[in-house]
Structure 1
Amino acid sequence: MTMAVDHKSPRKPRQITGRTVLFSLIAFFGAIAAMNAVMIYIAIDTFPGLEVDSSYKVSQRYNKEIAKAKAQAALNWSVDAVIERNGDGSAHIRVIAKDKAGAPITGEAVTVKLHRPTITAADQDLILSERSAGEYVANASGVGAGHWNVIVEIADRNDKALPIFRSKNKTFFAE
């Protein structure tokens, strides 16, 4: 019995040259830089990281903010906000406002701002209507599960630019 023997010489291993190493390093770090650029773009697009547009301008109003907080505390109002979220993503918002004597606060402009801490696209600003004396209501849609900032503002109906009362709270809605 005869066996066929392959007389070809074995293939020489490919040599690593300086050019191969250079292109490999450029490709490796290029892929990392491209992925970092994509992740930075996505992060900035979904969460700009800004609470206010200009911290300098806000700092210039600091003393006015303190005066407004003192004036609000002197009012001694009782303002309760209740948000009931339904399974379909809608929510019923109810604000009950009473003065320091317990009398209902009527005839004011009441707004509720529902803001996501991380996704500004889901933010909603709602104007509540007065259902009965001191009770203001509104409905919202698209209120997803998760963390929300709830800002309740009460302003004079004739001068909505200056809120008389402002409260900022955080809430969590489960699935």
Structure 2
Amino acid sequence: MTMAVDQKSPRKPRQITGRMVLFSLLGFFGVVAAVNAVMIYVALDTFPGLEVDSSYKVSQRYNKEIAKAKAQAALNWSVDAAIERNGDGSAHIRVVATDKTGAPITGEMVSVKLHRPTITTADQDILLSERTAGEYVANTTDVGAGNWNVVVEISERSDEEFPIFRSKNKIFFAE
């Protein structure tokens, strides 16, 4: 009995042609460009990169800002702010302000701005009420864990645009 052996010709290796190299390069760089486009879109959508709406308008107020900073330093006020975050995400804010003689600062408008460094959707501007002479308090909700920029401003009620006192600090809340 004879057995037939199937003899196949060995498969030729695929040749690399100019067309294959061209399509491979175009495909590779197309994927890289598509991923970059998605990442740029996501980055701009979550953080626009703007600190102010118009840098030109801010630059026009620059000399006034310098004068206000010098006036604030000359006042020599002592302003202590404390933020206590509760487990439910709420927070109690307390600001105590005294002048250079130690007398309480009363009758002013005190606000605290809680801003996230990277995303603006959680930002909060809180107006505090005067509980006792020189002590201003407020409660707020939805203060999540993480990094926050805290800006304390004390303004005269007639001039809210340029506060008498401004302090900007960073704070971190743990889980």
Q: TM-score, normalised by structure 2?
A: 0.89
CA distance, structure 2, for counterparts of residue 91 and residue 19 of structure 1? 64
Tell me what 1:131 maps to: 131
CA RMSD of aligned residues (A): 1.9
CA distance, structure 2, for counterparts of residue 60 and residue 101 of structure 1? 35
Tell me what 2:99 maps to: 99
2:6 matches 1:13? no
Per-residue Cα deviation, 1:57-95 (whole angstroms, up to 9, x for no partner): 323222111110111112221111100112222211111
Tell me what 1:44 maps to: 44
Deviation at 1:56, TM superposition (A): 3.3
Tell me what 1:167 maps to: 167
Per-residue Cα deviation, 1:121-167 (whole angstroms, up to 9, x for no partner): 22111111112221111122222222211000111124323311111
Q: What is the identity, as a one-letter code, of the residue corresponding to 2:142?
A: G
Q: What is the identity, as a one-letter code, of the residue corresponding to 2:109?
A: A
- Give the structure with the higher percent strand: 1
CA distance, structure 2, for counterparts of residue 169 and residue 114 of structure 1? 10
Q: What is the identity, as a one-letter code, of the residue corresponding to 1:112?
A: V
1:16-165 to 2 correspondence within 5 Å? 16-165=16-165
Can you give the 5+ residue segments of structure 2 that lack an aligned partner in the other structure?
none
Deviation at 1:3, TM superposition (A): 4.6
Q: What is the identity, as a one-letter code, of the residue corresponding to 2:164?
A: I
Return structure 1 stretches of 4+ with deviation > 4 angstroms: 1-4
Percent identity over the alignment is 82
Q: What is the identity, as a one-letter code, of the residue corresponding to 1:147?
A: N
Q: What is the identity, as a one-letter code, of the residue corresponding to 2:133?
A: A
